[in-house]
Amino acid sequence: MSSKASVSRHVTVPSIRSSKGQRKLIAATAYGRAITEVVDEWVDIVLIDDIATMGDFGQPTLLSFTLEHMVSHARAVSRSARRACVAAGLPFSSRHKSPAQALDSALRLLEAGASAVKVEGGVEMADTVAYLVKNGVPVIAQLRRISERAQGAVAEGGVVACDRMIQAARELERAGAFCLVLEGVGGDAAGRIAAAVSIPVLAGAGSDGQILDNEDILGLGGDFVQRMARQHADMLAVVEPTPIVQTSVPVLSIPVAPARARAFGRARSPAAN
């Protein structure tokens, strides 16, 4: 029996909510079966984020990521996750009109298998979060750095910007969010915000846990890796210099039959060349 099959505890929304002060949470992004199966055993939350539109889909902004995209990813991830809590982000176009629109969109994601939805925004989204929670939808809230000008101050623990984020975090907690993700906030500021609320805050050092993009931790994002990410593999370095790139295309253009060991349907040892 594999180690994955031996894992019987399922990470639930209540268990995440009650982890505050008890243990650090681990979260990672995933958008399909393969990565979900890799991270599922080791993380508390698998997040399907609309950042995929800029990575996997090559789009310049998040606005092109639709609810239909998210529903498709939610189905794939939820079918593959046996342990972690699956949370799907509500794309901007699926939530900005009204709380009722956000609820309709959130129900689509829950029907697709997600256990919770992520809603991005500050105090302006508190009513939407409250409406979702009132109607039985578990919500992870997300706060970004307040403005371009405030970014440096927040990252370095600036008092004014940090106080505004604390106010927003408290409003989202009162609205019913069971967890909070901070983006672009670290150090003392993250610690202050985490200490100001009773729900877990994911923002790295000083907070209650960390959420990382799988492209960062697996080396799939090219030269850019976020500072807080510990890169556990360099998959691009594995693929680019190998014969997969150097010889596969020329071989495909030569009408030569493959060796028996490479024939379709023939099992071989993983160690075989």
Position 81 pLDDT exceeds 70: yes
- Which of 68, 111, 124, 183 is an active site residue? 183
For the chain, percent of residues with pLDDT exceeding 90: 50
Q: In angstroms, rounded to a whole number, what is the distance separating the alpha carbons of residues 76 and 109?
A: 12
The DSSP output letter for 9 is P
Q: Give me the amino acid identity at 132.
A: L
Lowest mean pLDDT among 29-33, 183-187, 259-263: 259-263
Which are the contacts of 41, defined by CB distance < 8 A and separation ≥ 6? 3, 4, 7, 83
Position 61 pLDDT exceeds 90: no
What's residue 253's pLDDT? 47
Q: Give me the amino acid identity at 41.
A: E
Position 232 pLDDT exceeds 70: no
Is residue 81 classed as helix, strand or coil in its secondary structure?
coil
* Dihedral sign computed on CA atoms, order 149, 151, 152, 156: positive
For residue 109, name the pLDDT band (cuts at 50, 70, 90).
very high
For residue 161, name the pLDDT band (cuts at 50, 70, 90).
confident
Predicted confidence (pLDDT) per residue in 198-217, tens digit: 999 999 888 999 988 776 56
Q: What is the mean pLDDT of the chain?
A: 78
Map out the domains of the chain as residue ranges: 13-218
Position 107 pLDDT exceeds 90: yes
Q: In angstroms, rounded to a whole number, what is the distance separating the alpha carbons of residues 111 and 162?
A: 37
* Residue 183 annotated among the catalytic residues of the structure: yes
Alpha helices, DSSP H only, in 59-125? 67-80, 99-111
pTM of the model: 0.75
**Which CATH code is given to the segment(s) 13-218?**
3.20.20.60
What's residue 65's pLDDT? 73
